[in-house]
Amino acid sequence: MALVVQKFGGTSVADPERIKTVASHVARTKREGNEVVVVVSAMGRTTDDLIRLAAEIGPVRPGRELDMLLTAGERISMALLCMALGHLDIPSISLTGSQAGIITDSTHGKAKILEVKADRIHEAMSGHKVAVVAGFQGVSEAHDVTTLGRGGSDTTAVALAAALHAGSCEIYTDVPGVFSADPQIVPAAKRISRLSFEEMLEIAASGGRVLALRSVEFARNHGVPLEVRSSFTWEPGTIVDKENPEMEQAIVSAVTNDASEAKVTVTGVPDRPGIAASLFRALADRSVNVDMIVQNTSREGTTDISFTVPKDDLEESLEITMSLAPVIKASAVCSDSDIARVSLIGAGMKTNPGVSATMFEVLAREGINIEMISTSSIRLSCVVKAADMERAVQTLHNEFGLG
């Protein structure tokens, strides 16, 4: 008997009808002879509604109280799902993060899972009950309710699958898997049937919104195979698993895009050890999440450093960088929020030289200027003007035959 962890996101449980549909699917999986542990998010826009209520109270939102507020959401969806399972004669029990033994640190709002003490889940399974676990939440060692932050429910599902040695971890969402490009930009984009953890990490990190980076990291570290599927069509989705050395890798699996960042450039910095360190330490100290960093070789003893940050952090980043400019003797600081990142991802890239050359040629042929370049062994990213983003994605998707 295989143990399956099934995670249903907010759109999958958005209303009572959807919850009943999810219950039927869980019941079917169970009747096919599997053991099932379910992880649910809050219904649809519940979390946003709760945050709006908090905003009406005012700007002070202590993390502990915000977590207390937000964790109301999953209680509702999981209790309703258990009721729906009851109608299908599937015995079940809802468990809060705390009851499911999701022990975290005390960083409210983005707690890290320290340990999973799954006693009550094991107890539910020995009683032939489906455990329906609240995603996104845990409990600190000080017995305070915590939340895991963005993508938290995916992380709960993966952590449980790892702790329970589940055969598979199915992540149900409103799209049927991971696509070779955003279908809204590239109508010919195709569902990818299989990805390595590394490819999925690069996709998540470079603009793919299907799975949160963090849950993929967790899955990779614990060797938990994932399947991303749709709870609307129930068709087979995208499997994310260890790289299979016997299979030939696709050179390019996907083209991703991300217009959520802005670029900061510091020019004329003396090319001396410690300059970059002092700049990025100052940014890190203020919790600015720097993404790409590019530094060119120096010319006449000075160099330019460019980096990207989330648009929300741009103002603060500029403030920090400008106040530091005289100290590091930079000649100027400028920024551009009208940019986008376009990336090619593929595990086969590392053994296929020439992908970067093709990418740059294609962009050049389209008259698209490249502002920054950054690479990993399985990813190639170019920063371009935001207005060029869609055209870049479409052309690259076509050029690499992903449709």
**373 part of the interface to a copy of itself, by CB under 8 A:** no
Closer of 87 and 281 to a copy of itself (Cβ)? 87
Nearer to a copy of itself, 70 or 162 (CB): 70
Residue 104 binds to a copy of itself (criterion: CB under 8 A)? no
Which residue, 17 or 285, has its beta carbon nearer to a copy of itself? 17
Of positions 65, 304, 316, 390, contacts a copy of itself by CB under 8 A: 65
Query: DSSP code of 191?
Result: B
Among 1, 43, 3, 4, smallest CA distance to 170 is for 4
**Binder of a copy of itself out of 83, 185, 259, 290 (CB under 8 A):** 83
Which residue of 3, 51, 76, 292 would you call a contact of a copy of itself, by CB under 8 A?
Answer: 76
Among 2, 31, 48, 62, binds a copy of itself (CB under 8 A): 62
Of residues 19 and 396, the one with the C-beta less far from a copy of itself = 19
Residue 300 gets the label, from left (phi > 0), alpha (psi -120 to 50) or beta, of left
The pattern of x and - marking residues 319 through 358 that bind a copy of itself according to CB under 8 A reads ----------------------------------------
Judged on CB neighbours under 10 Å (0-12, 13-18, 19+), 122 is middle
Distance CA 40, CA 160 (A): 12
Element (H, E) at 94: strand 92-95
Q: Of these, 26, 93, 166, 266, which contacts a copy of itself (CB under 8 A)? A: 93
Written as six digits, the tokens of 135 are 């995603």
Q: Which of 37, 84, 340, 382 binds a copy of itself (CB under 8 A)?
A: 84
Kindly state the DSSP code that residue 9 receives in the 8-state scheme. Answer: -
Q: Strands across the sheet with 339-345, in order?
A: 254-258, 339-345, 379-385, 372-376
Please state, in angstroms and rounded to a whole number, the distance separating the CA atoms of residues 165 and 297: 48
Which CB sits closer to a copy of itself, 23 or 288? 23
Q: Is 126 one of the binding residues for a copy of itself (CB under 8 A)? A: no
Spell out a b/e string for 356-372, using b for 16 or more CB atoms within 10 Å of the CB, else e. Answer: eebbeebbeebebebbb
20 forms part of the interface with a copy of itself (CB under 8 A):
yes
The reply to whether 53 sits near a copy of itself by the rule CB under 8 A is yes
How far is Cα 384 from Cα 390, in angstroms, rounded to an integer? 10
- Footprint of a copy of itself on residues 137-196 (CB under 8 A)? 143, 145
**β-bridge pairing 254-258 and 293-295:** unpaired
How far is residue 373's CA from residue 380's CA, in Å, rounded to a whole number? 8
Compare residues 73 and 135 and give the one whose CB is closer to a copy of itself. 73
Residue carrying the six token digits 């001396």? 272
Interface contacts to a copy of itself, rule CB under 8 A: 15-17, 19-20, 50, 53-54, 56-62, 64-66, 68-69, 71-73, 75-76, 78-80, 82-84, 86-87, 93-94, 96, 99, 120, 143, 145
